[in-house]
Amino acid sequence: MIVSAPVDELLRLLELIRRELGAADVRAELGGQAPDDPSALSTELAPGWRVVALFDAPPADDAAAKLEALVEPFEEVVGQIEIPKVGLGAAKQRELDEELDALAERTGARAAVVFDERSPVLWGCSAPRAAGWDLDAMERARLLARDVAAAGLDPARWLAEGHVPSDETLKAAGIDETVAQRWGHRFTRLAGVAPRWGRAEWQEALQIATAVSAARARCKGGRAPDRVADHDEDWGLFARGFAQIYLLALVYDGAYSELHAEGPAVRALPHIETLVLALPPVEPPPRGAKVIPLRRG
């Protein structure tokens, strides 16, 4: 059941944004991907929720900052709305994330995450979350970051700034116009997933994405591996499989001690498994969004 008072507050926020920004349409979305449209702005309202403002033309440069300022006082509103059972229960997910955060601290890991072999759902994560940041988005970000870094550029910086590098920078790096245009589309889509992340958050997210990709590559025959230990110059990974399809992964900045990683992970795994299996299912994996529209009268 949805409580009417919080919904009224949410609708009031949407009307306020439409009026203050001169938007053609404003809506609240639950789940799915952020819009990939130069005439749209979006910002996170609460984990899993975003506000999207649509314009008849690309908005003014200061519109994004104004949108965030308007949304900030209303962040508590969606916490009073009961999420449909097809979504992750906010309290249960928060409990899992907190347990993973404690495990990361005990093991000295950069982050602890839980995902499965079959779907793009990020079931738990000790690092900052953003709407739409799932394993599909991670893989797109990883591939883009690989290509950008190979050109001697900093993908985390450009993602944080929300746009492709300047023409002068790309020309100096030897990037042709076709590649630059393709990068621009990818940057825009990914930056919309986490518009509030800065360079440090994107660096961490890309590091986690690379390690998660390496762990998923070890999954064979529809089952998660029992144990994964991987090392690279810029990251390290230790993972344990559970419940056949899930992986608990610890991501490190580089070399790490498998002994110090495995002990705490094994001890924490029964409780983490209980928390994961208690989460409401997400089948099929979410691709769309639930929308509350408010159109211009």
Classify residue 22 as exposed, middle or buried by CB count within 10 Å of its CB (0-12, 13-18, 19+). middle
- Determine the angle formed by the axes of helices 177-193 and 135-150, rounding to 10 degrees: 140
Name the pLDDT band for 89 (thresholds 50, 70, 90). Answer: low
Name the pLDDT band for 210 (thresholds 50, 70, 90). Answer: very high
Q: What pLDDT, in 10s, does the model give residues 226-240?
A: 999 988 888 899 999
Q: Residue 4 has which token pair? A: 């009417």
* 125-145 mean pLDDT: 87
Lowest mean pLDDT among 61-70, 251-260, 261-270, 286-295: 286-295
Compute the C-alpha angle 31/34/39, nearest 5°.
145
Distance, in Å, from the CA atom of 191 to the CA atom of 43, rounded to the nearest integer, reads 11
98 SS3 class: helix
Distance, in Å, from the CA atom of 62 to the CA atom of 45, rounded to the nearest integer, reads 19
Predicted TM-score of the model (pTM) = 0.62
What average pLDDT does the chain have?
A: 82
Judge whether residue 129 has pLDDT over 70. Answer: yes
Q: For position 265, what pLDDT does the model report?
A: 95
Residues 6 or more apart whose Cβ sits within 8 Å of residue 116? 123, 224, 245, 246, 247
Judge whether residue 264 has pLDDT over 50. Answer: yes
Residues 6 or more apart whose Cβ sits within 8 Å of residue 249? 112, 113, 114, 115, 211, 212, 215, 228, 237, 238, 239
- Residue listed under structure tokens 């746009």: 163
Q: What pLDDT, in 10s, does the model give residues 22-72?
A: 998 898 887 666 777 888 998 887 766 788 999 988 898 889 889 988 888
Q: For position 110, what pLDDT does the model report?
A: 94
Distance, in Å, from the CA atom of 133 to the CA atom of 129, rounded to the nearest integer, reads 7
Q: Domain coordinates of the chain in residue numbers?
A: 4-84+286-295, 88-279
Checking DSSP bridges between strand 25-30 and strand 227-231, what pairing results, if any?
unpaired
Name the pLDDT band for 218 (thresholds 50, 70, 90). Answer: confident
* 191-205 mean pLDDT: 87
Q: Could you say which of 1.20.1050.90, 3.30.450.30, 3.40.50.300, 1.10.287.990 is the CATH number of the domain covering 88-279? A: 3.30.450.30
> What is the 8-class DSSP label of residue 74?
G
